[in-house]
Chain A
Amino acid sequence: MDGKLILGFLNYLFLALVFLFGLVSLLAGDQRKKLTFLFLALLSSGVLSYLFFAVAAFILPGIILIFFCLLLYMLIISQEFYGFGKPLISAERRLRPGRQGFVIKPSVVINLVLSLAASAGAGAVFYIFTKSFFAAPPIVKSFESAAMVSIINNIGANYIPAILIISLALFSCVFWSIIILENRRTKN
């Protein structure tokens, strides 16, 4: 088989795996299952980035990603163990034998319909406006990967992305802290 064909097949396979694992982790009810499938989806996205010849660009942020996943896992474990943040279920409700039929709540239906409509609208707009670009994209002849040394040199030579990202991160942190302060004021 042609090497290009195998690479293309692997790319599509891992994109499909990211989508499937992600869908399962969104739909799963149990929090631990959610986290397990989230980890599998992130692993698939890691393999996908390796297939895109971007090894060094994934390893560095991957370290932060691992710490984040660990923190999230610890939070969920403590939630499960100590019951933090879980609504208290009264004894009567727990002892109730089964559900009383299938009840459709209008608020849930409206929320679902609005979310689906917004997603479908965004998808349609994206498809319509990118159709002309994908008719004849200016694709390069040969694929090349960026080495770690060139990335470090680029960080040293080009400050614009760093300044942009750091200023955006600072803005979001300030925004977030303002939200927290507002919450504290109402609490006090």
Chain B
Amino acid sequence: MNLQYIVLSSFLIFLMGFFGSTFCRGFLSIIISFQFIVVASLCNFFAFSLFLYAASVWDKTFIFFAFASIYLLLFAIVFYNYSRQTGVYELDARKDFGLFKFDRSDWWGEEKPDDN
């Protein structure tokens, strides 16, 4: 195994992600490109920790936290896109910030026109 080849090929994956995030316009393509950047950083971390440091766990800990935070941020982006597409934020315009929305009909059955 050669460290240079591994680092250069992981940098190639990073460049693919960079190119995709600058060139592509679709939401899914950009998310995929971000994931390639994450994968390239993971390969780099593992390769450097394996080849250069004997039995260091600092980088593994860092990878654990970094992976968790990056994917939580991607969760946020995906949820934001979903909410924009499905119009969840339309509730905001109606001054309705409740997470669970209960109407009278939820307790008393279907509303009749003469109730109001």
Please determine whether A7 and B13 come into contact, CB atoms closer than 8 angstroms: no
Which residues between 1 and 56 of chain A lie within 8 Å of chain B, taking CB atoms? 4, 7-8, 11-12, 15-16, 18-19, 22-23, 25-26, 31, 34-35, 38, 41-42, 45, 48-49, 52-54, 56
Which of B28, B39, B81, B82 is A45 in contact with, Cβ under 8 Å?
B39
Please determine whether A184 and B67 come into contact, CB atoms closer than 8 angstroms: no
Write the chain B residue with the least CB distance to A23: B16
Please determine whether A137 and B64 come into contact, CB atoms closer than 8 angstroms: no
Please determine whether A42 and B61 come into contact, CB atoms closer than 8 angstroms: no
Which of A26, A112, A127, A140 is B54 in contact with, Cβ under 8 Å?
A140
- Of B61, B62, B65, B82, which is in contact with the most chain A CB atoms at under 10 Å from its CB? B61
Which of B35, B53, B60 is A140 in contact with, Cβ under 8 Å?
B53
Counting from the closest, the 8 A-B pairs by CB-CB distance are A61-B67, A169-B69, A165-B65, A84-B85, A52-B46, A57-B60, A85-B85, A115-B23
Write the chain B residue with the least CB distance to A169: B69
- Interface of A with B (CB < 8 Å)? 4, 7-8, 11-12, 15-16, 18-19, 22-23, 25-26, 31, 34-35, 38, 41-42, 45, 48-49, 52-54, 56-57, 60-61, 64-65, 67-68, 71-72, 75-76, 78-79, 84-85, 111-112, 114-116, 118-119, 122-123, 126-127, 130, 134, 137-144, 146, 150-151, 153-155, 158, 161-162, 165-166, 168-169, 172-173, 176, 180, 184, 187-188
Which of B1, B8, B62, B71 is A161 in contact with, Cβ under 8 Å?
B62
Please determine whether B36 and A134 come into contact, CB atoms closer than 8 angstroms: no
Given the known A-B contacts A118-B22, A126-B11, are A11 and B60 also in contact in the complex, defined by CB atoms under 8 Å? Answer: no
Write the chain B residue with the least CB distance to A76: B28
Please determine whether B61 and A161 come into contact, CB atoms closer than 8 angstroms: yes
Contacts of B13 in A (CB 8 A): 15, 18-19, 22
Please determine whether A52 and B47 come into contact, CB atoms closer than 8 angstroms: yes
The digit string for B48-87, where 1 denotes a CB below 8 A from any CB of A, is: 0111111111101111111111011111111111101110
Can you give 6 contacting A-B residue pairs, CB < 8 Å? Answer: A15-B6, A15-B43, A26-B33, A139-B52, A143-B51, A176-B80
Which of B16, B62, B71 is A165 in contact with, Cβ under 8 Å?
B62
Contacts of B10 in A (CB 8 A): 15
